Amino acid sequence: MKPLRPAWGAALLLAGAAQAQSYLPPEAAVRAAVEQSPTVQAADAARRGARARADGLRAGPHETVVRAMGQRRWVRDGTGQRFGEGQIAIERPLRLWGKSEADAELADATLATGRVAAQDARHETARQLLALWFAALRAGQVRQAAQDNADAATELARITERRLRAGDAARLEAELATAEKARMQAALASAEAAWAAALAELQARFPGLGAPADAMPPLPPLPGQPAGLRARYVEHSHEFLLAQAEEALALRQARRTDLERHPDPTVGVFATSERGGAERLAGVSLSLPLGSAHREAQAAAALADADAALSRRLAAQRQLGAQFDVLWLQLTGRRAAALAQEQAVTLQRSAADRALRSYRAGESGLGELLAVRRMLADALLAERLARSEALESDSRLRLDLHELWDFDD
């Protein structure tokens, strides 16, 4: 491709959405395919589980206990008196020491982690869809190049056959042209099989997407400057947001576990009937577990888990920064390669046209023409693949920047 002129760059910025539709699947189809993914459905189920656990945290683990007791009393004083007696009590542990507020914060963190995990599942599924889509697109480009080569070989064989009948070509040249035609047909059959396999995998994993188009637009402009994009890439990444949410969840869990070092008291009321109802009692009960080394160990373990979550968040931040650097270098390198390949195709096509005119005029042999045509075929295929790789790098970066197929809503 030719370098973008300023006017072209402005036009591409205004028509970015239209360009995306030319080589990417429609967004509505993408969203439908992602939502139907078993991975996303499993993440949604996990999010519903997180919501239920959050409701349980807010309600608290304690339950009201109703206790009933019956007994018979025998009096051994010679009278043989017997009495029926019983007791009924209602007890409930109390969440004290700020545990109720800590449980509410833990519930909010649980909900946030479940939400980000569901968003991350959609984003990862979209990444897989994008990779399979461009794999099918590249296979289609190889198939299209093979089809063009086969058509050119067929036309060349036809020209050589006419020259043979006119006495301007030797039988050897006709045989070479026929062999070249057969070779191109074999390459076309192989490319069609590879394209069908890539398309079958895409449609099996994500039904309803259809097939990528053969034509590709010019490369869009870069999404921005790397310094500003790097910070956006890290801060908006679902891996980072999920690690951040898990860190917050671990910190709140550590605080909640630390509060468990103070046991919850159990308060109850009871009523007792003795000596057949002749004596009645009513009272209040209070029980308090004594702290143990187990509670201290649980608090220390939760604090260690929070430290581990902090380290995982820092590791994710570094990894994502390095990931952006790789994606940016790939994008710029592939763009430069695509532009260079386009220039090579322009020069190689001119050389092939001159070689064909020379062959038709009888000024050169078929071997020279075939060599030039093969070089043109290789250059055309390399240019198509380079452009598709540049478009994939651009789409992948825009997807991670939430400029393409944003599922956070």
Write down the pLDDT at residue 321: 94
Write down the pLDDT at residue 114: 95
Write down the pLDDT at residue 363: 77
Write down the pLDDT at residue 216: 78
**Going along 255-351, which residue ranges are E strands?**
266-274, 279-287
pLDDT in tens, 262-295: 888 999 999 998 877 778 889 999 998 887 788 8
Which amino acid is located at 150 in the chain?
Answer: A
Which amino acid is located at 162 in the chain?
Answer: R
CB within 8 Å of 269: residues ≥ 6 apart: 89, 90, 282, 283, 284, 285
Q: Rounded to 10 degrees, what is the CA torsion of 249, 253, 254, 258?
A: 160
Q: Return the biggest CA–CA distance within the chain.
A: 145
Write down the pLDDT at residue 16: 43
Query: pLDDT averaged over the chain?
Result: 87
| C-alpha span between 89 and 395 (Å, rounded) | 67
CB distance 243 to 67 below 8 Å: no
Write down the pLDDT at residue 10: 35
Residues in the chain: 409
CB distance 256 to 102 below 8 Å: yes
Fold topology of 35-70+82-400: Outer membrane efflux proteins (OEP) (1.20.1600)
Locate the domains of the chain by residue range.
35-70+82-400
pTM: 0.83
Write down the pLDDT at residue 378: 87
Q: Which residues of the chain have pLDDT under 70?
A: 1-21, 78, 168-169, 409
Which amino acid is located at 249 in the chain?
Answer: L
